[in-house]
Amino acid sequence: MFSLARRYFASLLGLVLAGWSLFLYGCAGTHSSRSGATPLAIKPSAALLPEYRINALDELEIRVRYHERLNGLAKVRPDGRITLEDFGDLRAAGMTPAELDSAITAAYAPLIHEPEVTVFVRSFAALSLYVVGEVRNPGIVEMKPQMTVLQALAAASGPIRTAKLNSVMRLRRDPAGELKAMRLDLNPSAIKNGAFQDMHVQPEDIIFVPKTFIASVNNFLTQVYDGLFPPVDVYLRALREYNRPGN
């Protein structure tokens, strides 16, 4: 009888403790929500990061399974192209390795049966841009991850007193190779007015800091091509010569 009573008491105590635990858990959840506590943060998956895009002067390794003669290293030329054995030139710059893999597969499809292509980036080109005009040290600036126009100006030792920061020009080539210009307002007063236009740079960008306000972007580009802005023109001429096919 005593043993039966003890088992009954133990069971009853277990039920009471279980109920009390549920009550405390509910109180804890209610307290967390009321106090503004947030759940444990989950780190974003690496798959969410942007894929690397191939740049000029990157060195690629291309392998075609069962076709060793087509395997080899290919350096991306300044014009953004590589030369494939038995095919010829193919644009690579601006693509992800997976996209280039698909492009090479499509290029070899008429030549070999079901090509299996793999693309590796063996070495990365040193990325740089150009900062010219009213800065202390105009010239080539080495790019850093997530670098902005303002950071590029800082890397050129900053603007000088005559710089018109409300008329900074960012020159960049589009995928067709045509030069495009964008005027940026980087004046500190623009922050208060919500017009601040700092943005990320890309390799081969040209940042021009003028000493006078540039009213027309189109007129500015015309003047650049006419050589009326010597510092920019020097770099543009060098880039055009560097990007000529066959170099």
Lowest mean pLDDT among 82-96, 104-118, 226-240: 226-240
Please give the structure tokens belonging to residue 147.
């670098």
Per residue in 76-98, pLDDT tens? 987 889 999 999 999 998 899 99
Average pLDDT score over the chain: 75
Please give the structure tokens belonging to residue 243.
């990007």
Place of tokens 């008329």: 167
C-alpha dihedral, 201 to 222 to 209 to 187, nearest 10°: -80
Q: What is the mean pLDDT of residues 127-135?
A: 87
Quick check: 156 pLDDT over 90?
Answer: yes
Is the Cβ–Cβ distance between 105 and 133 less than 8 Å? no
Task: Tell me the residue ranges of DSSP E strands in the chain.
Answer: 59-64, 72-75, 81-84, 88-91, 117-123, 128-133, 139-142, 168-173, 179-184, 206-209
Confidence of residue 37 (pLDDT cuts 50, 70, 90): very low
Phi first, then psi, for residue 226 (nearest 5°) are -80, -5
Quick check: 15 pLDDT over 50?
Answer: no
Helix, strand, coil shares, percent, the chain, to 5: 35, 20, 40
Q: What percent of the chain has pLDDT over 70?
A: 66
Please give the structure tokens belonging to residue 120.
């590796």
Highest mean pLDDT among 12-21, 97-106, 141-150, 224-233: 97-106
Quick check: 225 pLDDT over 80?
Answer: no
Phi first, then psi, for residue 180 (nearest 5°) are -120, 150
Is the Cβ–Cβ distance between 133 and 220 less than 8 Å? no
Quick check: 24 pLDDT over 60?
Answer: no
Highest mean pLDDT among 15-19, 49-53, 164-168, 195-199: 164-168
SS3 category, 81? strand
Is domain 128-242 in CATH 3.10.560.10, yes or no?
yes
Q: Tell me the C-alpha to C-alpha distance, in Å, between residue 92 and each of 78, 127, 169, 184, 216.
A: 11, 16, 28, 30, 34
What pLDDT score was predicted for residue 139? Answer: 85
Quick check: 74 pLDDT over 60?
Answer: yes
Q: 59-123: CATH homologous superfamily?
A: wza like domain (3.30.1950.10)
Determine the Cα–Cα distance for residues 104 and 98; give it in Å rounded to an integer. 10
* 121 dihedral zone (left: phi>0; alpha: psi -120 to 50; beta): beta
Domains in the chain: boundaries = 59-123, 128-242
On whether the pTM is more than 0.75, the answer is: no
Are 59-123 and 128-242 in the same CATH fold?
no
What pLDDT score was predicted for residue 236? Answer: 59
Confidence of residue 49 (pLDDT cuts 50, 70, 90): low
